[in-house]
A and B are shown apart, each in its own frame.
Chain A
Amino acid sequence: MTSPRGVLIVGEHTNGQLGAPTLELLAHGRALATALGEELAIALLGESLGGLPQEAIAYGADKVYAVTDPLLKEAHLDAYLGTLVKACEAHAPRIVLLARTELGRDLGPRLALRLNTALAQDCLEVRLDSDKRLVAVRPVYGGNCTAVVTVASLPMMAAIRPKTAEPLPRNPSRRGQVIQEAAGLAPSVIRTRVLQRVQEAQEGLRLETARVVVAGGRGLGGAEPFHKELQELASVLGAAVGATRAVVDIGWVPYSYQIGLTGKSISPDLYVTVGISGASQHMAGCSGAKVIVAINKDSEAAIFKAARYGVAGDWKKVLPAFTKQLRELL
């Protein structure tokens, strides 16, 4: 067996485009590969890939394993897993990186187990130590603590939280190698069947990409303010509306509103929270927000530790006046 070399990234794409988390992974991977003096490879899987391999090279990859198979049409976990196990066995990377997306979150642990190695989950930062070991920094205990971990077996695997790096500038003249591979998947590797996919349309803007987000917590006291006062604020600011898990659990809004560790990650320029205490599990989803504004009646609430501006007061009084003034300004 060849001794493990290089960094391999698990790529993700939708609608003919590399996902933003994949572009960020390429930046993380590029830094590690350069530090190692080894190659950065990316595995791209799909029914067909079009210009994606070239795009990956433009964003920093040296090598693309382009694996095509009708079974890879949807990003099916079982099919991805089977393909990636083969790719890792064939190419023996030193480091394997995934994005901690919906797919990566579930794929990483299974891939690590199959490759008989360990995975550093949900990393904010990855680097190499002097022994070329992968060192990762990650939040644990719902973000209340930070752990620095390392993987002592090969390949060293890490799943990296999206929005922890800027993609490298796109350089269309960058050169790299595209290697076409067959997945060679037996249909029997697919053990789960998707019977139906249901889109639960959320009114308004998408939380993940919105430049302004407003969110409400248990302090709003009911479902109604989400449709009234908070919605009014959102309309004035052109913002997407989110919520805490506490509110989702009570049933005031659907899960698609949830921001946090087990909900969506947002990275708006402005994030306005109303009646949200600022629990670490909630804040885990908005670490990418540039400016946080808090309205909370408890001046001791943890949210004021993360906020840049705040009003300690009852939202029923503060919010309408805030919205009214904004309407006059905008």
Chain B
Amino acid sequence: MPLHVIATAKQVMDPESPPSAYRVDREAKRVVPHPATKIPPVINGFDENGIEAALRIKDAVKDAKVTILAAGPSFSMDVMKKALAMGADEMVLVQDPALDNVADSTVTAKVLAAAVRKIGPFDLIISGRQASDWDNAQVPLGLAELLGVACVPVTRKVEVKDREVVCERILADGYEVVSAALPAVVTVSNELGQPRYPTLRNIMAAARKQPTIWKLADLGLAPADLAPRLLVMDLYIPEKTSQCELIKGENEEDSGRLLALKLREAKFI
């Protein structure tokens, strides 16, 4: 049996897009792209690191299969296929309008857990440490609990050796080397390194692959399972009132000098 690694991937609004590219629909309590912008969504950056981690394991152990798993109300195939073009073998999309605007991560975790069970046996699940929209950092941890497996969060290196996963877990002042028996859930951070670029060969292979698409009903989930318990009461863009005093001298050197004098005058130094 090849080692089976599942990498989860969330489609999100591009977090690097300028504030003019989105707005808040306060009625629907959601962030929506500005109608005039054409910035495409992206695979959550940390999830791309996770896909990279999965592919590195595949490179190292040779006999491995990487399945991409995503859940959401709708997907841009151009965006999601990047995961296959990077080198993943298969992709499962849980696509259902009922997954629109889910703020309760436990609901997402339940959906993904049901999908993982339907996919079949797995050895390792790799997720990004958090999604760049709600920054919750909850779904993979919840997934580990629901599947009853070990969990190693926020790592920068993931290796599989002798039915164990060995990770470097990032700490504020260094890291720790942590191991867990498979199956397990691991989350990765950007320190893992840049995700690889799709090769032409993989892009062509990806174009021929058809993702498996399931609805919630295919997972045997009832609407009651999806009732959110974290409710969004309000959502808004916080006001930032600038009160910056720009120091202007005769030239840039002079501005630097005056800045120092200003800080002394205001007793900050």
A: residues with CB less than 8 A from B are 77-78, 102, 105-106, 108-110, 112-114, 117-122, 135, 139-142, 144-153, 191-202, 208, 237, 245, 248-249, 255-256, 261-262, 264, 269-270, 281, 291, 293-295, 299, 304-314, 317-326, 329-330
Contacts and interface: CB of A to CB of B under 8 A. Distances in A.
Interface string B116-157: 000000000000011011111111011011100111111010
A320 B256 CA distance: 8
B264 interface: yes
A261 to B, nearest CB: 7
Interface residues of B, number: 86
Given A102-B171, A197-B176, A318-B253, A329 B137 contact: no
A194 B178 contact: yes
Contacts of A322: 256-257, 259-260
B180 A192 contact: yes
Contacts of B141: 106, 109-110, 113
Contacts of B254: 321
Contact of A261 (B135, B172, B245): B135
A204 B20 CA distance: 40
Contact of B189 (A202, A237, A262): A262
Contacts of A114: 145
A326 B257 CA distance: 8
By DSSP majority rule, is chain B's interface helix, strand, loop, or mixed? mixed
Interface stretch (B62-70, B83-91, B200-208, B232-240): B232-240
A110 B133 contact: no
A293 B263 contact: yes
B37 interface: no
Contact of A153 (B229, B234, B236): B229
- Interface residue SS majority, chain A: mixed
B28 interface: no
24 contacts: A110-B142, A114-B145, A119-B230, A140-B133, A140-B134, A145-B235, A145-B238, A146-B236, A153-B229, A191-B180, A194-B178, A195-B166, A196-B177, A201-B173, A270-B268, A305-B244, A310-B247, A317-B251, A317-B252, A320-B256, A321-B252, A322-B259, A324-B257, A329-B269
A327 to B, nearest CB: 9
B242 interface: yes
> Which of A106, A109, A307, A322 is most buried by chain B, counting CB atoms within 10 A of its CB?
A109
A305 B236 contact: no
Given A198-B175, A299-B246, A105 B230 contact: no
Contacts of B31: 140-141, 145
B42 interface: no
